[in-house]
Each structure stands twice: as structure tokens, then as C-alpha cells.
Amino acid sequence: MDAGGAGRHLPAQPLWYEPGTGWSYSHANFVLLGTALERITGTRLDRLLEERVMGPLGLRNTRNSFTPEIEEPVQHAFTASRGTYEESTFWNPSWTTAPGAVLTMHICDLERSARAVGSGELLSRRAFLEQLDPGTVGLGGATATCPADICLLNTEAKHFGMGVIVIDDWVLQNPSFSGYAAIQAYLPQQDLSIAVSTTRGPGAPDENTAQIIAERISELLAPENPLVFG
């Protein structure tokens, strides 16, 4: 809706591709998923995550908040996304995901969740395999209406699953937000997990710096199958 037209909807936009024939990333799906989970279970999302995820995995240093508050000690973040290099530690990330799913955690919990997600610990075998490839392999790629950097090509070696990315057998997620960057990655064949969290200095490259560090760690720990994003 626009500011002066309560109740009016934005005009429909043309589809980039027919449903089921292409692929493009949409973070809004996490918002929709949170709403669906609450309606299906009848449980508020923050409580549902505690009951089904944080509790069973023993993530005692993971916090869920409806505010930008972060438990001390805080890893401070900085960004130049608004043109001036400034502190962004307590910027509110609530618009990026579903209410009740704004999480902060210690690095040990990040590593623990990497192992759990990457091994399908909380899922049946069938559900885990579907999470790794729900049919995305083969979808994507540039079309007349969608450029290649939006409609990313999903291949067997590198593709998006449900809430995860699969790169050469590594199962990972790589969030970033206003100066914060992180990665959790798991390599099932070696039962190897890597967790990195970084903040950006004024001369840091304009990319997820946690990925760069994770790649270098993987070269040392898994030289035969390192994590490579390029």
C-alpha cells in the first residue's frame, strides 16, 4: 500500500517466469514461512523455535528477541551502507525475517547448529534429503525477463535447498546484515563444521568476509574438498 491510499494494493507485476520453471532467491519466504508455522501449530514462532530447535539442540546461548537488544558482551558492527562509516550494532533486523525469528548466538552455538542442520539431526532421512534438494537443481539461469545474477542457475555442485545452500557437499548458510557477517558450514563426509562471525572494518571488501575466512579454514582442514564460493 502507498502512504496515501490505505486499502489500495500495488498493481500486479509481470512474472519473471512461470511458477515451477525458474528460480530466484526471495528472503520474504522466511516471513511467509514463519506465519505459516504459527497458524499450523497454533504456537508463537519464538516459542516454537525454542521447543523444536534450540531446546533439543542444547543451544543455551541462543537468544530470540523482538527488539534490537543483544545480550552482553556484544560484538560491535560498523557499516558504510548509508554513505558514512558508522556503528550499526543495534540496528533493528526485524524487517528481514519473521517476527520471533530474530536470533543472536555465541560462536559455539553457531557451530553446534551447523552440525545439526548439515546432518539433518532434527529431521527424518527423507525430509533431510528434500531439504538439500527440493527440486531446485536444474532451475534458474538467465531468461529474457530475468538476468543471471537474479535467476541464479542451480547445479548439482552448487544449489539452494530449503533454508540452506549446498556447495560441493558442504551444507551451509551465510547470513549478513548491516556490518555483520557469518557463516556456518558442515561437511558430512568428514563430520567437519566451521563457524565464523565477522564485522566489517572501513577497508574491508564489500562482501561476506566470514566466507573468506571459512574458505581459508577449509583449505587447511579439508584440502581434498575445500569450500569454494567462486
pLDDT tier for residue 153 given thresholds of 50, 70 and 90: very high
> What is the predicted pLDDT for the residue at 8?
54
Burial class (CB in 10 A: 0-12, 13-18, 19+), 141: middle
Residues 6+ apart with CB under 8 A from 83: none
Q: Kindly state the percentage of the chain with pLDDT values over 70.
A: 95
Count the neighbouring beta carbons within 10 Å of the beta carbon of residue 9.
8
Q: Kindly state the percentage of the chain with pLDDT values over 90.
A: 67
Burial 97-121 (b: 16+ CB within 10 A, else e): bbebbbbbbbeebbbbbbbbbbebe
Q: What is the mean pLDDT of residues 155-176?
A: 96
Task: Work out the mean pLDDT of the chain and round it to a whole number.
Answer: 90
pLDDT tier for residue 5 given thresholds of 50, 70 and 90: very low
Q: pTM value?
A: 0.89
Rounded CA separation 33/24 (Å) = 17
pLDDT tier for residue 133 given thresholds of 50, 70 and 90: very high
